[in-house]
Chains A and B, each alone.
Chain A
Amino acid sequence: MIVSIASGKGGTGKTTISTNMALSLKMSLTLIDCDVEEPNAHLFIHPEIDEIRKVSVPVPEVDMERCSLCKKCVEICQFNAITVVKKTVLIFPNLCHGCDGCRIVCPENAIRMGEREIGVMEIGGKDQIRFINGRLNIGEAMAPPLIRSVKRCINNDEALTIIDAPPGTSCPVITAIKETDFVLLVTEPTPFGLHDLTLAVEAIKILDIPCGLVINRADIGDTHVYDYAREEKIPILMEIPFDRKIAESYAIGEPIIDALPEWKEKFIRLYEAMKTIVNERKRKGK
């Protein structure tokens, strides 16, 4: 089972939920931090990193000896990543999506695909947890290729993979939660939390993935999130009250289950609840 933890709004507690769940379960599992722009899960897991793998994207290189300046490459590129100025071809690597179009279209075979590093993948573990995260290089714009690389490490036979997704509702989030069996949405009961939650739910509907809700800092704000969950028939699988002790342990990178051990059982039950929903759906043949 692959579970992704997402939110729409940032700072609602995605990483808190994914790391505490991973630490609570007494089974071997994989935790993947797909928030490659700001990866934080390692701060709570303290994994031993055995391997750092560079992640590259293809980028065109032009052989000017062969180039006839026909501009077919400029014409096919949808991202303005290649242009001809006077007698040279200029490449803007940051804009290149790596679609390979320019290389294929070139009638002179003057383009070959080189590589450009956009970030790294850190692979390691801690006790029963296999840990992987992506870390986008500073100044790089495109997170999705790195997220795709990190997700290639998923082993489908494994009982559980937990994906810590980035905030928002656009391409990085979609790339992270795509092809997962369940999305656990973490929100807070405030106007901002609710608004961004509704956007996230719409995205999940498009992907047709079942979802459930964790309401964090459940006693601040108002009750509209609860009304919304009822209307949309989204099960509330966990509520975490605002507790200074939880906030304090989070601040220093201490898991909730270390500060308040009674929460361990609740995270195990959260996992069981998701498993039941996923299995139920499988049984119905979806």
Chain B
Amino acid sequence: MIKELVVISGKGGTGKTTLMAALSSLATDKIMCDADVDAADLHLIMAPTVCAAHDFQGGRVAIHLPERCSSCGKCRDLCQWNAIREDFSIDAIACEGCGVCAYFCPEKAIDFPIKTCGQWFISDTRFGPMVHAALGVAEENSGKLVTQVRKEARRIAEEKGFSLIITDGPPGVGCPVIASLSGATAVLIVSEPTISGLHDMERVLKLCDHFRIPRMICVNKFDLNAGMTGKIEERAGSMGAAVVGKIPFDADFTKAMVHGLTLFEFNDRSNTAGEVKALFENVMRLLETSGSVKTSII
């Protein structure tokens, strides 16, 4: 059975992608998946060679055809998004793609074509294959694109007989995060010892429980504030989530990123590298057992 580990954080900037890249470099027989399609960064470390690029068609957009328009104003009355201007031209950014204006226009003066709102890629990297994507700027439907890249990663894993998918998830708790969680074997939540890190970890833990996904916690930069790390461990414990790693604050992470390297490629002899290896082992052990467990690891 293929296992999928999804790395999320709630709060942005806690070190998801950096840690995910380091963990991925330790795993064998795996495919990497970047599900943070909104602001994808994993490729900056993995330097993928794109083998196949595909357009992503996420939805439709209304386009005004002035030569047919009788200016009756019906579209403006019906549009819930205030996307139709005084002159009946359509604000593509405000348009939700519901098609109500096009459907009811008596003159058929609104076209409603499918639009390409991003691209997704199958690539090779020095750590094996990777599926990733780039959502067009200011586009919607990132949830659908997340589902697409995960589906593709799973297809390739099945084809190549891999046992593991490691997915870099988006921040937050909304649509793209929900799309990155469904059907995952387990979630690794990367938190940080700040009041925001604690607050956001709690929300994302509740999200995992809502969808009954097993979850574990890693406290990144744990030594920046011992008191807050204690609080995070306490809260994680009270919510039944195992703390599987505590990673020190280390300038090596930023230096490695600047060089486009994983932590281990930059320096694999440090104390931090040892902690990340221990994290990897703990995660893999829990991942092994969580395949058979339907509800959360407690």
Contact = CB atoms under 8 A, between A and B. Distances in A.
Contacts of B139: 170-171
B224 A192 contact: no
B44 to A, nearest CB: 5
A155 to B, nearest CB: 19
B41 A11 contact: no
Interface in A232-252: 244, 247-248, 250-252
B225 A252 contact: yes
Contacts of A100: 78, 80, 100
A11 B12 contact: yes
A84 interface: no
A170 B11 contact: no
A166 B172 contact: yes
B254 A206 contact: no
Interface stretch (B25-33, B63-71, B198-206, B289-297): B198-206
Interface string A150-176: 000000000000000011111110100
B260 A191 contact: yes
Nearest to B258: A222
Interface in B101-127: 103-104
A98 B251 contact: no
B199 A206 contact: no
Interface string B54-83: 000001100000000000000000101000
A191 B44 contact: yes
Nearest to A253: B195
Interface string B76-105: 001010000000000001101111100110
B199 A178 contact: no
Contact of B100 (A11, A38, A101): A101
Which of A9, A37, A40, A166 has its CB near the most chain B CB atoms (within 10 A)? A37
Interface residues of B, number: 60
Contacts of A196: 39, 41
B14 interface: yes
Given A168-B170, A196-B39, A78 B98 contact: yes
Nearest to A76: B103
Contacts of B14: 11
B97 A78 contact: yes
Nearest to A94: B178
A11 B13 contact: yes
Contact of B93 (A15, A190, A207): A207
Contacts of A9: 12-13, 39, 41
A97 B96 contact: yes
Contacts of B210: 138-139
Nearest to A38: B200
B60 A252 contact: no
A172 B140 CA distance: 9
Contacts of A37: 171-174, 177, 203
A101 B172 contact: no
A166 to B, nearest CB: 7
Given A9-B41, A168-B171, A190-B258, A252 B227 contact: yes
Interface in A13-28: 15
Interface stretch (A62-70, A140-148, A260-268, A269-277): A140-148
Contacts of A49: none
Interface in B18-57: 38-39, 41, 44
Given A15-B196, A221-B258, A252-B227, A170 B140 contact: yes
Interface string A186-210: 0000111001100100110011000
B120 to A, nearest CB: 15
A215 interface: no
A167 B170 CA distance: 10
Contact of B38 (A97, A136, A169, A190): A169
B174 A141 contact: yes
Which of B60, B98, B203 has its CB near the most chain A CB atoms (within 10 A)? B98
3 nearest A-B pairs in the assembled complex, by CB-CB distance? A10-B12, A11-B13, A99-B98
20 contacts: A9-B13, A9-B41, A11-B13, A11-B171, A37-B171, A38-B11, A40-B199, A97-B96, A100-B80, A105-B103, A136-B173, A167-B171, A168-B39, A174-B93, A191-B258, A195-B41, A221-B258, A247-B224, A251-B195, A252-B227
Interface of B: 9-14, 17, 38-39, 41, 44, 59-60, 78, 80, 93-94, 96-100, 103-104, 135, 137-140, 142-143, 170-178, 193-196, 199-200, 203, 206-207, 210-211, 224-225, 227-228, 251, 254, 257-258, 260
